[in-house]
Chain A
Amino acid sequence: MQEITRDTLISRAKELLASGEVDRVYGWKRGEFCYDVTPALFTDAESLEKDFEWGDFCGANLSKYLVEETRKSEGKILVFMKPCDTYSFNQLLTEHRFDREKVYVIGTPCAGMLDPKRIRDHAESFTSVVSDENGVTVSTLFDGDVKLDRSEVMPDRCLNCKSKKHVAYDELFGEDGGTIASGRFDEVEKIEKMTPDERFEFWRGELSRCIRCNACRDVCPACTCEKCVFDNPNSGVENKAAENSFEEQMFHIIRAFHVAGRCTDCGECSRVCPQQIPLHLLNRKFIKDIDGFYGEYQAGAEVGSRAPLVDYTTEDIEPSDAVKGGDENA
């Protein structure tokens, strides 16, 4: 099988640009260091060759950018997507957030991303990271090279990857994978087993670090309202007006509820949080409950699927039973 490399992606992007099939490319751009990769738009071969990046630090999910970008012209955009990104892509299509015809998706294989925050826990002041099947070698400025297992420096979302399958693409690089029985609900179960007081303390402690930067909301592919209630000065809960910790908690409760049933568990919220608050655990609690109450449902697995929370069947759980379940293990 042909090995997929950065060059494979660049040469295909150049072909598609040259043929006029697409007129711009959403990808990842190299930065100052090995890890500071930025989502970026490319329009010519030269800049692709110079700046396009594909590797361990291309974690940013590009699907949400398509909402704005597709509005800008009639031309088609090439976008590269990891398996998890394609679920967000489908969910956005389900919600009619952009025109599928304006996008050309190339699915790219993924061995799991690396997390600079976790690398820093093992290697301070690092300048380069080389990874292969034997692990990860991190070069530091003052402590020489540090050798690590890939699993030590992968983010939680990749360690608990739910699927290596691309659920949307026009073209696929590499062999497609399948869904994975991951341990993604293990942490949720631990929290469910806490007493209500312990659980309250756990979340109070985690959320007390929140600085209300809204990065978790702004990066979220399920958060695409034209005007968020937390940006509306007339709502009384506008972002800047955090009068007390209750307001902080409100923000998180509303955010989590609003994405319930639509969150694909892409993990972007936890990736971007500057305070390392495990937001994905809130989302996963909802996913787990929905699975339990209505049967397994994966947001974004298919375009146009009706999420249990916005659907009605006569088999639906009675609210009183759902609440009972909540008493036992919510």
Chain B
Amino acid sequence: MRKITLDRLDEFFAAVAGKLKLYIPVDTAGGAQFQQWRAGAKMSDALNTTRSAKDFFFPQTENLMEFKTEGKKIEIIDVRRENEDFAIFGVRACDVRSFDVLDRAFLSEPADTYYQNRREHGVIFSLACSKPAETCFCGTFGIDPANPKGDIVCYKTDDAIYMEAKTEKGANLMDSVSDIVAEDEGGDGESAVNAQKEIISERMKKLPLASLSTDKFGGDKTAKFFDDPAWKSLSESCLGCGTCTFVCPTCQCYDIKDFNAGNGIKRFRCWDSCMYSEFTKMSAGQPRLTQLERFRQRFMHKLVYYPANNDGMFSCVGCGRCLSKCPIQMNIVKVMKNLGEGGENNG
């Protein structure tokens, strides 16, 4: 365990930023967002960022490759530059779990080398949540915000941050800045961290969604929920805007497009959304014609299809972003509560 007092936090960030690119959450007019650390940047106290940390590994837009043509010759240009190490400070337990969800999608064979490259170069400082929000329900998916995963796990108290490296990558980085953050030998670290874990556990019990359960969902439930009458009322006012999918740390759909850039072709990958009417449109037509079908896809994927292909693991992490950002306040919690209750107008 290492300790840095908050008055020396800037020094610590400077030391880490001296080794690799460091991103920390800072307050902006649009809520907390990860930004590259610069001297004087103040870390946000917000519980979580508006956009999730998936952006670091699966960016909203990326240039995959370029092509140059000359007569009948076509040259393929690899434009990848993501070979620099970077660190993200302050990732919450829910978002750390989201990397597991994304890994299963992008790293299973054949691995997505763009994603893989970034994962290999990223070091994650996770941060325990001392004050969860009313919209948090990570516990539903077995995530413990008092014990987040990550390369280096951090606990922030009123006057210090305690850190413990959990992986080799994390240990190497911490060793490289040990002149700034020494081992907290015989210090108050353990008792301070334990006290905080206790507070977090108590607070988690008080959350309004603490009793939400996944019991009725799982990989074998397609037949049970596909034609549930509740989809109609749940989806009826959905705008199809896709906000929920863009702020979601686990949504992973994308589209690939080629653009004529004048003297060549650029191939881009951009986030896409199952909520969009153009999504899954093929030359043969559009299999999901109504918003009900598109809406159903998003939630069935989180609660049924993904677990069916991933040993029962759900692809929602309970971060609550879709609860606070949907323009019509529809979200996965309402879906979970209403499905299987045998009615159009339940709860």
Contacts and interface: CB of A to CB of B under 8 A. Distances in A.
B252 interface: no
Nearest to A116: B324
Contacts of A213: 241-243, 246-247
A115 interface: no
Nearest to B31: A276
Contact of A240 (B31, B237, B271, B331): B271
Contacts of B242: 213-215
B303 to A, nearest CB: 17
Given A32-B334, A215-B239, A233-B278, A243 B51 contact: no
Contact of B209 (A32, A211, A212, A276): A32
Which has the most chain B C-beta neighbours within 10 Å: A46, A219, A277?
Answer: A219
Interface stretch (B36-44, B129-137, B179-187, B222-230): B129-137
Which has the most chain B C-beta neighbours within 10 Å: A211, A238, A271?
Answer: A211
Interface stretch (A34-42, A100-108, A312-320): A34-42
Contacts of B271: 240
Contacts of A238: 278
Interface residues of A, number: 49
Contacts of B47: 124
Contact of B333 (A32, A37, A233): A32
Interface stretch (B13-21, B200-208, B310-318): B200-208
Contact of B30 (A33, A60, A209): A209
A189 interface: no
Nearest to A43: B345
A313 B33 CA distance: 49
Which has the most chain A C-beta neighbours within 10 Å: B203, B239, B257?
Answer: B239
B329 interface: yes
B241 A243 contact: no
Contacts, number: 133
B243 A215 contact: yes
A40 B233 contact: yes
Contacts of A212: 60, 246
Which has the most chain A C-beta neighbours within 10 Å: B33, B60, B242, B277?
Answer: B242
Interface string B239-263: 1111100110000000101010000
B7 interface: no
B278 A242 contact: no
B203 A141 contact: yes
A239 interface: yes
Contacts of B236: 40-41
Contacts of A126: 134
Interface string A108-148: 00000000100000001111000000000000011000000
Contact of A33 (B134, B246, B270): B134
A326 interface: no
Nearest to A127: B134
Contacts of B239: 215, 218-219
A216 to B, nearest CB: 8
Interface in A21-63: 31-33, 35-42, 44, 46-47, 50-51, 60
Interface string B311-347: 0000000000001110111110110010000000101
A231 B31 contact: no
24 contacts: A35-B329, A36-B323, A36-B329, A38-B237, A38-B329, A40-B236, A44-B345, A46-B345, A60-B328, A125-B132, A127-B208, A141-B203, A142-B206, A209-B30, A209-B33, A215-B239, A218-B239, A219-B239, A241-B259, A241-B270, A243-B61, A243-B259, A243-B266, A243-B268
Given A38-B329, A215-B242, A274-B50, 18 more contacts: A32-B334, A33-B134, A33-B135, A35-B329, A37-B329, A38-B330, A39-B237, A40-B237, A141-B203, A141-B207, A142-B206, A209-B28, A211-B60, A219-B239, A219-B327, A239-B276, A272-B241, A274-B247
Interface of A: 31-33, 35-42, 44, 46-47, 50-51, 60, 65, 116, 124-127, 141-142, 206, 209, 211-215, 217-219, 231, 233, 238-243, 271-272, 274-277
Interface of B: 28-31, 33, 47, 50-51, 60-61, 131-135, 203, 206-209, 233, 236-237, 239-243, 246-247, 255, 257, 259, 266, 268, 270-272, 276-278, 281, 323-325, 327-331, 333-334, 337, 345, 347
